[in-house]
Amino acid sequence: MANDLHPGKKIYPAHGDPIRIVPLHVPDSVRQPTAEAAAAGPTPAPQLTFRNGPLITAVEVFTIFWGPAWQAAQSAIATQINQFFDFILTSSLIDQLGEYSVPGHQISQGKRTGTLTITTPRLRHSVSDRGIQHMLQLYFVYVQPGVRIVQGGGASCQAFCGYHNDMSSQIFYAAMPYPGCGGCTGGLSVFDALTSTSSHELCEAITDPIPGLGWYDDANGEIGDICAWKTKKIGQYTVQLEWSNQANQCV
Ligand SMILES: [Zn+2]
């Protein structure tokens, strides 16, 4: 998996473990090339290629805030994250992904379809599978402060700051740990770090919803991985730059 904890020793997955993560932020001052990396030569220039998998063309985002802290001390930031999605899903951030449209699948602006704060993983009432498929495209799950997410042999704040994946190729989700460490704030405020990592996973989920089967670069990963922790402002929000094949740079 992409992992900037070990600069120059990036390991990208074969299809066995294609989950894409937001790597921890590493200050430039400690980004020293390793002897191994020097021997391996320069990383190839980024160029995403399309692998014929699905794209999310008009994304519908549903946020899930998991843990009682989201109802109490953290309720303001949960509200702010929802406002962030309401704004950013109809912003230039989504427009810039238009270059990754393919015939019959035009990537266009989306919307937030709802939000939920849950305190247990158990659903209290039944919901049909068909209902779920019609209601939701992309779940963003925010785990409350102090709880780490373990995935693929690593953990949040130790190996990653977020990731996205698919369930049964139909329901897509992004797992967002609370940025409770310097590696996952990258010098930003907690909220700006959350919107930066959220925009990273949002753009990747749209252009590569089944990791590795959409727009992908075997050496450099997905659209957001190439530009990890490079940010800009859209409106009042901090978002991450994303790779543009057309511009041949992060935009
Ligand atoms: Zn990524």
Q: How high is the pLDDT of residue 9?
A: 30
β-pair partners for 160: 156
Task: pLDDT band for 130, please (50, 70, 90 cuts).
Answer: low
Measured in Å, residue 72 CA sits from the centre of ligand 1 at 30
Burial class (CB in 10 A: 0-12, 13-18, 19+), 206: buried
Distance of CA 12 to the CA centre of its chain: 16
pLDDT band at 27 (very low <50, low <70, confident <90, very high): confident
Q: Is the pLDDT at 125 greater than 70, yes or no? A: no
What six digits make up the tokens of 82? 């929802």
pLDDT-derived band at 31, boundaries 50, 70, 90: low
Do 197 and 229 meet the contact criterion of CB atoms below 8 Å apart?
no
pLDDT above 70 as % of the chain: 81
Ligand 1 center from residue 70 Cα (angstroms): 25
Q: What Rg do the C-alpha atoms of the chain give, in angstroms?
A: 17
What are the boundaries of each domain within the chain? 54-250
Rounded to the nearest angstrom, the distance between the alpha carbon of 121 and the centre of ligand 1 is 26
Average pLDDT of span 202-218: 96
Q: How confident is the model at residue 19 (pLDDT cuts 50, 70, 90)?
A: low
- For 72-149, strand residue ranges (E) read 108-118, 138-143
**Ligand 1 center–CA 20 separation, angstroms:** 5
Measure 5 CA to ligand 1 centroid, in angstroms: 14
pLDDT of residue 15: 39
Q: What is the mean pLDDT of residues 194-214?
A: 96
The 10 Å Cβ neighbour count of residue 210 is 18
Q: Alpha helix (H) ranges present in the chain?
A: 35-40, 75-88, 92-95, 129-135, 182-185, 190-207
SS3 105: strand
By CB neighbour count within 10 A (0-12 exposed, 13-18 middle, 19+ buried), where does 60 fall?
middle
Token digits of residue 124 = 């209290």
Q: What pLDDT is stored for residue 25 in this prediction?
A: 87
Ligand 1 centroid vs 235 CA: distance in angstroms?
Answer: 23
124 CA distance to ligand 1 middle (Å) = 33
User: Residue 59 above 80 pLDDT?
Assistant: yes
Copy the structure tokens of residue 71: 């109802």
Local confidence band at 73 (pLDDT 50, 70, 90 cut-offs): confident
**Maximum mean pLDDT: which of 43-57, 69-83, 120-134, 190-204:** 190-204
Q: What is the pLDDT of residues 137-181, one digit of tens each?
A: 799 999 999 999 999 899 999 999 999 999 887 789 999 999 999
Q: What is the pLDDT of residue 29?
A: 67
The C-alpha angle 95, 17, 171, rounded to 5 degrees, equals 50
Cα gap 97→200, rounded to integer Å:
12
